[in-house]
Amino acid sequence: MSDRHANIGFDDFRTETEPLANAGLAQGSPLSPILFAFFNADLVDQPVDSHGGASAFIDDYFRWRVGRSAEENLVKIQSEDITRIE
């Protein structure tokens, strides 16, 4: 987390290496998904219950329904869920 440096390269060009001030977490840090969950936990405010639920992580969102048939689930998704996210 300290003494980090970076440069930019493209084809045969490369900049001088410069120190990174306040660089944050390193790319691929195992802390990233944990911190993401804490900071964004309230973004998907749809309860999970016996009728279905919703969840999100980074740029993925998914909603599911529990019902007697696929047709019933489709109607509820189209009439209730999609209108909520539009």
On the 0-12 / 13-18 / 19+ scale of CB atoms within 10 A, 73 is middle
For β-strands 60-65 and 52-57, DSSP reports them as antiparallel
Number of domains in the chain: 1
| pTM for this prediction | 0.42
Instruction: Encode the chain (86 residues) as per-residue pLDDT tens digits.
Output: 678 889 999 999 999 999 988 888 877 889 888 888 787 777 676 677 888 888 777 777 788 889 999 999 999 888 888 777 66
**Residues of the domain holding 75:** 5-85
Could you give the CA distance from residue 35 to residue 54 in angstroms, rounded to a whole number?
A: 20
- Tokens describing residue 61: 């969102």
Could you give the CA distance from residue 40 to residue 56 in angstroms, rounded to a whole number?
A: 9
